[in-house]
Amino acid sequence: MIWAKQLLDDNYALERVIGCGGAGIVVSARHVRLGMRVALKFLRPDRPRTPEVSKRFVRECQITARVQNAHVARVLDIGRLPDGEPFLVMEHLVGCDLAALLDERGPLACADAVTYIRQACAGVASTHGHGIIHGDIRPANLFLTMSPNGAPLVKLIDFGEAEETANPCEGTARVDLSSAPVVAPEQLRTERRADTKSDIWALGATLFTLLSGRSPFERSYAAETYLAILSGRVPDLCAMRAEIQRPLAAIVERCLAADPGKRFASAAELSAALAPFSTPGSAPRSVGVARPSQAPPPPKAVVAPEKAAEPTPKDTAPPPSGYWAKDSDSSPTCVIPQNSIVAKTSAHSSKSGLTAHC
């Protein structure tokens, strides 16, 4: 059990829970010597503990730390609890993930959606250059924050399902068929694992979701979802939204081709194809590390013609969600029950407004 205000590793003063999901729980903390805020990710205490689980948890940190890119969230260190269990030390981001943004705003303006995916492409290209397959790209794992110059900045988060191309035997297990994940068709087949083309497929599926407000293949039942994915029949984006240009829809369809050989060869190639449809002057950063200090402004949302959008105050930021919540000492995202951070994690479920994807 870990308590609020406890000092871990003589460095990290715990503050409050800011995210909780199926596998982990994320806590805001301060590095007492450096005075900087960080996010600490712990394994959930109500989940089974095995050597393999701990090994994969540490491996997530080791894999992510290799990638130094403005569009990939930084993992700073691996710490140890008094019982030896590991926890990850990550940069503390301000903003929200794109899944929360969709829930709040609905489908995004085409230029905004494309801009965010192009930034994600920059992060994916960097991870692929390091021989890493993310394996779980979706709106909930793309975090929208703000760069130092005030522009929206998207970062790729959560490498818990990542694989290394050089060590496929050490990578993630195949997709769990007990649920209905929206993943590339080769991830559903027994003969193949995720590869770079799988991440391209996921980028296309994410762009489809940002543009339409729904997943391209997700159905009510898992079997129906798998059959839709394997069929490769992509719903017509142009029929869903008149303002979507046919060439943009064709790019999404190419990403979602059932045959990996028909997809874009790389994330960089996909980004170049999307460039004409993105916000002018919004080229993704390819190097360096951004240090956002405030939440990004709310992007434009798509509104049905028969219903006008309600005015949004200029100083309103997207709601906190996911791994890193809005940075506010006066109004914390989640109150820690009974002064305990990790105990009774079920109290920090989706009912608290936190998305479950740790």
Q: Count of CB atoms within 10 A of residue 288's CB?
A: 11
DSSP of 279-322, one letter per residue?
Answer: PTT-PPP-SS-----SPPPPPPB---TTSPPPP--TTPPPPP-S
Regions of the chain where pLDDT drops below 70: 1-5, 21-22, 167-181, 190-193, 281-358
Q: Out of 97, 136, 158, 195, which one is annotated catalytic?
A: 136
Cα–Cα distance for residue pair 282/190, rounded to 1 Å = 40
CATH 1.10.510.10 residue ranges of the chain are: 96-277
User: In Å, how far are 12, 86, 92, 342, 353 from 80, measured between CA atoms?
Assistant: 11, 4, 19, 15, 29
pLDDT for residue 4: 56
What's the CATH fold of domain 7-93+323-352?
Phosphorylase Kinase; domain 1 (3.30.200)
Closest CA to 12 of 78, 83, 110: 78
Is residue 136 part of the annotated active site? The answer reads yes
Q: What is the CATH number of domain 96-277?
A: 1.10.510.10
Per-residue model confidence (pLDDT) at position 288: 32
Residue 176: per-residue pLDDT: 55
Give residue 19's pLDDT.
78
CATH 3.30.200.20 residue spans of the chain: 7-93+323-352
